[in-house]
Structure 1
Amino acid sequence: MNDRLLTTPIVIGNNTSVTLELPLECFHGDDAFKYRIYTFTYLLVFPVAFLCNIGALAVFFLQISRRNSPSCVVMMNLAISDGSFSLTLPLRLVYYFRDGVWDFPDWLCRLCVYGFYVNLYTSILFLTLLSILRWLAVAQPLRHRSLATPTRSLFVCLGVWLFVGVSSVPFLSNGVTNRAGLPRCFEPSNFSSWGRILILNYVGVAVGFLFPFFTIIACYSRIVQHLTARSGLNSSSPSSIVRHRNRQRSVHLVAMVTATFLLCFLPYHVIRSLHLHAVCGGWDCDVVMALQRAVVVTLCLAASNSVVNPLLYYYSTRTFRDKMRDAHSSLLSSRVGSFRSGLVLMRRRNTT
């Protein structure tokens, strides 16, 4: 019976602990569902996230005038984060295609786990920084010009990378484990550490999600209040039209960021916390398995933020859209030109 039970000691006082025994099926009895969902999601996410974020970086580099914009600096860091995360997805796909057998070195397993959390929380903080910059640009343009310089934005982004990178170091401890005689990855190596994982979860929820989320809500509310107060001052002058368009883009940006939080990040953090409580609290096995399925689905939503962010660049930045249209037009013209040259060659061959 011991090979079918997982013992989980939970500390409930200064010197008191109880040992919970959970059936092995509560953790691994539904692996087929998990592998199918992850495989389907990453097959969709990988090509789109990789191509869109690499393309976004190329467009940002081509925007010589916009490259010195604080928002552009933040978006470039966000694209680097999403593009780097997408490079780990092929390893995950091979693992799930192999039904949970890890054939790569241990350090690659640790790097994949670490990369997911670094991408998750750098994305959250970069989106928060974008919302703050937009609030300053709309509500306090003079302070925005003096405070939000490209150099300062770059230093803040480097600070985000450093903070998240150091804070995520504990996830490097989760490497290859041996289960059923096979090397596994993305599974807890020590089931006696669930209590510590629960504490780390709440630190991540508080610092990496709740604080940024409430900051974004505050920025959104202030922007809406400012635009509502200024709505009666509209005129038909060119400068007023430009300001109106800028305000519209500001609302679209913050609305899209808020929607990203609600769709990609909120469900994952809520369900992950419930699942950890279920494991540490020794809840019924059926509840644990149901929450595990929910964690799988919400984790896929969290991973899909690397696909959603390029949409944010496109719809919130006019020059980004213009560059994308120029690239599309040049691609079409090159195809038409090659097609016409092919027709000319065929006609010459037919006449000869």
Structure 2
Amino acid sequence: MTNTTSPDNDDFCENISDFKTSTYPPVYLVTFILGFTENVFCLYVFLKLYKRKTEFSIVMVNLAIADLFFVCTLPWRIYYYWKGSILNFPPSFCRFMFYALYLNMYCSIYFLTLMSVLRYFAIVHPLKYLKYRTIKNVLILCIFIWVFVGVVASPLLIEDNSIAKNNRTICFDPKNKINRKIYSMNLISLPVGCVIPFLIITICYIFVLKTLLTSKAEHDKQKCSRKKAIAMIIIVMVIFLTNFLPYHILRTVHLAMNFHGSHSTNQVNCFIQRSVVITLCGVAFNTCLDPLLYYFGAESFRDKLRSRRTIANNQI
């Protein structure tokens, strides 16, 4: 029989709170510094230096905005854990922090998927469906992604994720109040928000790699474009395989164990909880890895940086 009341988190892992306190603040601090600096700089390059907008630059601008929005919430998360996991803000603030996390994560996943599909058509079918691959259509798709993810994640703005415990209010720990709604949302988000996009990206890049490896690069420019495309493929696959996919799998296992009242050993439960913490840090740090895609994936991004550096050196 399903148990809708989850067991106490500390019964599974006595030191999980201390582990979070020692893990999240330093990772979030580094992520905030790097992620904020990198994404602000990339937005400056895309919006200020790019005279001609492309489909890829439109997607990358939206990805940078999503990452920047999330990293701007990290100082409050750092403060929360630094104060010993005590919420000094209204419960609505806790809900907003949850919403910001998942809004960024799933927007990033869908923007990466869209970027991969565009790369597939640009390399495998450069002339096919060309009339549909316009800046206007890509912009509409980006807006649709924002609206879709924003609406689907909106229940997190309503669901109270904070909990009163030992005369303090705990936030950022929804499994303490796991219910059928949260559990069902997770079961939907696993395939729709992670597995299906990952399969689409994998299929696209299999055909892209096949095309790149079987075609002849006669000029240095073609060789350079091939290397950039392969580098982009590697970066996207690494992001998914090390960040998004492990987090979704472990989160699903952990929530299922709580929702169904698992009787697994404390060692197993503690391992799962610590793994969720580590993979969530990886999801957050993804905001620092996305700018690598701009460097390797955006047309003339490196040229813009070089020209800017040359102008700066001439002015010295």
- Asked if these proteins are the same fold (TM beyond 0.5), I'd say yes
What SS is found at the alignment partner of 1:100? coil
Distance 2:5 2:48 in 1: 59
Which structure 2 residue ranges, 5 or more long, are not aligned? none
Classify 1:144/1:188 alpha carbon distance in 2 versus 1 (closer, same or farther; 3 Å): same
8 Å CA contact 1:42, 1:89 repeated in 2:
yes
Cα deviation, residue 196, structure 1: 3.8
What SS is found at the alignment partner of 1:155? helix
The aligned amino acid for 2:26 is F
Of the candidates 246, 264, 268, which is equivalent to residue 283 of structure 1? 264
The aligned amino acid for 2:245 is L
Distance 1:289 1:181 in 2: 24
Distance 1:88 1:20 in 2: 28
The aligned amino acid for 1:136 is F
Within-5 A mapping of 1:1-352: 11=2, 24-26=10-12, 29-67=15-53, 69-143=54-128, 145-172=130-157, 173-188=159-174, 191=177, 193=179, 195-231=180-216, 234-235=217-218, 240-279=219-258, 280=260, 281-330=262-311, 337=316
Cα deviation, residue 318, structure 1: 4.9
Distance 1:204 1:290 in 2: 23
Cα deviation, residue 251, structure 1: 2.2
8 Å CA contact 2:162, 2:171 repeated in 1:
yes
Deviations 1:2-29, CA, capped at 9 Å, x for gaps: xxxxxxxx53xxxxx6877557432664
The aligned amino acid for 1:85 is F
Cα deviation, residue 190, structure 1: 5.9
- TM-score of the pair, normalised by structure 2: 0.91
Aligned residues: 313
Distance 1:50 1:22 in 2: 36
The aligned amino acid for 1:319 is S
Question: Larger deviation: 169-178 or 51-60?
Answer: 169-178
What SS is found at the alignment partner of 1:148? coil
Distance 2:94 2:9 in 1: 26
- TM-score of the pair, normalised by structure 1: 0.82
Distance 2:32 2:9 in 1: 34
8 Å CA contact 1:109, 1:186 repeated in 2:
yes
What SS is found at the alignment partner of 1:178? strand
Distance 1:22 1:109 in 2: 20
